[in-house]
């Protein structure tokens, strides 16, 4: 087990062996969670690059009922909560 020290700025250095195993490099995005007394870091997969032409119109459904702003926000929060559940 490696030990790290938190700096006065709240920064820490992930040991090279751990970075190599997790395949993280400078600029990698990590999610940080506090769960059951543990601080957990999880590498995030990079989002694939897409063009506007590839996604234009993908949400349009003529027969779909329009949601209110409140309903839209609630649906987004529910999806995010489900996606980030342990």
- Which pLDDT belongs to residue 43? 92
Residue 38 pairs in a beta bridge with 35
Which positions ≥6 away from 41 have C-beta within 8 Å?
14, 30, 31, 32
Tens-place pLDDT, residues 31-64: 999 999 999 999 998 778 888 888 777 777 778 7
Domain boundaries, the chain: 11-45
- Which pLDDT belongs to residue 34? 95
Question: Taking the model in full, what pTM does it have?
Answer: 0.50
Domain covering 11-45 in this structure, CATH number = 2.10.260
């Amino acid at each position: 087990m490696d030990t790290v020290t938190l700096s006065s700025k709240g920064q820490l250095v992930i040991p090279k062996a751990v970075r190599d195993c997790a395949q993280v490099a400078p600029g990698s995005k990590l999610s940080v969670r506090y769960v059951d007394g543990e601080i957990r870091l999880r590498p995030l997969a990079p989002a694939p690059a897409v063009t506007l032409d590839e996604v234009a119109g993908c949400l349009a459904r003529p027969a779909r009922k329009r949601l209110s702003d409140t309903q839209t926000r609630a649906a987004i929060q529910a999806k995010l909560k489900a996606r980030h559940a342990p």
